[in-house]
Amino acid sequence: MKPDKPFNSFNPKGLLVGIVVAVGLLAMLTHLTEHTKNIGNISYKEFLDKVRGDQVKQVKVAGQFVEGVTKDNQKFQTVVAERPGDFDLLEKHGVDFAVSTPSMSTGSWHVFIVIGVLMLLGVISGWYLMRQMRNGGKNGGGAGGIFTIGKSKAKMFLPASIKERFSSVAGAHEAKEDLKDIVDFLKDAAKYRRLGAQITRGVLLVGEPGTGKTLLARAVAGEANCPFFSVSGSDFIEVFVGVGASRVRDLFAEARKKAPCIVFIDEIDAIGRQRGSSMGGGNEEREQTLNQLLTEMDGFETSKEPVIVLAATNRPDVLDKALIRPGRFDRQIEVPVPDLTSREEILKVHLKKVKAAPDLDVKRIARGTPGFTGADLANLVNEATVIASKKNLTEVGMYEFEEARDKIMLGTESKTMILTDHDRKMTSYHESGHALIRLLMPKDTDPLHKLTIIPRGRALGVTHFLPEREKYSRNKEELLATIAAALAGRAAEELVFNELSTGAYSDFKAATEVARSMVCLYGMTDELGKRVYLDSYDSKGGYSQKTFEKIDEEITKILNDQYAIAMQMLIDNRDKLNLLAETLLDKETMYAAEVYELLGIEPRADLRLV
């Protein structure tokens, strides 16, 4: 936020003069220090011994204080007794001496000059800091001033500069519907107040990173045509205790001046975590900041015009309960990972900026990207465009999107990895085992999309399955089929080569997770009943060691049974397995349509053109 008046206490000429004076004083101090450092202190006896040894060239006597120079140009100083015979000794040994009236010694002058210089520097520094404090208080602080540290770092956007609208946000239909209440209230608060309605003043946007929470907040400000303050939760935190609370006060003071307006706090969990849940020096500062935020949100009723606070987080579970109670962030709006329809809409938005091929199948791309957020889809479009640009193409097609997706999910294609013929053949049978079992399994499983033995990242090959639709639940048969297909790669290796390789690790991991969920979460076993089992068998888990062992047995049984089913299906269809593996070894990459045609299997109705 910009101050109403410019910070006029900054004077470049004054700063230059100050630097010159400081450098001069520092040089003087250094000179005096060096002068003092080069003079050695000796005892009275050492002095007399040097004189008797004809080592002294010159001395200056001021009372009992003596400074001198030896014949090898070494300076010294000492304190002598008041004995007139010493002058006879100096004269006898040819020492050039001079006598002055006793006064403050040179060494003492050095000490007083050093003290004076330090005091002067302290006075100048104190005067400058006090001047900065006074000017900072009058003008709201200036950029770079030490006393502006308590000023808010929020950026204010005027309505004319906010171009986003709800139409700019693809997908998130439910979230937009919930936010329309806020927009309506900002546009016409009197409509709600005439009946005594109180619109919520705090809205928490909850969702995974990249789902578009910030974009939604800006769209609300754009729709309501009001100022928009944007700040991150981490911007409040400093090493100095009290700074965060000061910034919160300043932010809301500015927001009330611009009301009606929207304050958006991104990553609010940086300051909104449960109090007393962590240790460390920064915990006190964070808690003070949170306390001030709670106070400011409670004080909104004193504002004539509404100030709506939107906040975003992907960790609502760690927020302090006082922050999400009624009267503060009492409305939580879920911003989900986009479903199939939303992914298609998001892709169309990003493709408007890209020269795409006329036959580009956006729906097929959306089907092949389950779990992708809006940010992931934007990255996918950009990667595909980069690949097309490298090839000097005039438009971006499906092949480039396939390459981009594989690169994002699996890594860059390895061109330096050299595999033996045996390794390539084993990989081909491994991936063919996955694909064949999936083709022979029930029709409600995800259909085959493509399989390849081109190494990417740490994977020697991969088999892709393309969901037909967005699935929100799965039945037991489908989960068992998924396990069997995952274990079919190892079964094919054992059947054909009678070998066990490390390539099945990720398959075993995925299959084990599905089997564990069936037993512990979904109640899909007869022995253990219809209940949820936690990860451990201790007192918190609520079940015994014996039950834990039973869970382990059930998981192992499911895996072994499905492995046996996969092995038997491969034995019964060995000719198809050999044909697919040998063809894949030659082509390296095969799509579903080629596999269906090769094996003589009737494709699903919606996959005939894939």
**Greatest alpha-carbon span in the chain:** 128
The label of the residue with tokens 């088999």 reads: 463
The helix (run of H) or strand (run of E) holding residue 557 is: helix 545-572
Which residue is listed with tokens 């950029």? 143
- Cβ pair 226, 187 in contact under 8 A: no
Tokens 């599905």 belong to residue? 514
Dihedral of CA 323/156/184/295: which sign? positive
Nearest to 230 by CA among 142, 130, 126, 310: 310
**How far is Cα 459 from Cα 407, in angstroms, rounded to an integer?**
12
Q: 């938005």: which residue's tokens?
A: 349
Instruction: Please pick, among 223, 400, 431, 554, the residue that the annotation labels catalytic.
Output: 431
Question: Coil, helix or strand for 451?
Answer: strand
Within 8 A by CB and 6+ apart from 333, the residues are 175, 178, 179, 203, 204, 205, 206
Buried-state track 250-280, b at ≥16 Cβ within 10 A, e below 16: bbbebbbebbbbbbbbbbbbbbbbbeeeeee
3-state secondary structure of 205: strand
Instruction: Please give the full DSSP string across 351-409, using - where no structure is assigned.
Output: HTTS-B-TT--HHHHHHT-TT--HHHHHHHHHHHHHHHHHTT-SSB-HHHHHHHHHHHH
Query: Which residues contact residue 39 at a Cβ distance below 8 angstroms, ignoring those fewer than 6 apart?
Result: 67, 75, 76, 77, 107
Residue 260: asked if its preceding bond is cis (omega within 30°), the reply is yes
Q: Is 67 a catalytic residue?
A: no
Cα 100 from Cα 82, distance rounded (Å)? 14
**Is 550:528 a contact under the CB 8 Å cutoff?**
yes
The rounded radius of gyration (Å) of the Cα atoms in the chain is: 40
Task: Say if CB 101 and CB 62 are below 8 A apart.
Answer: yes
Catalytic site positions: 431
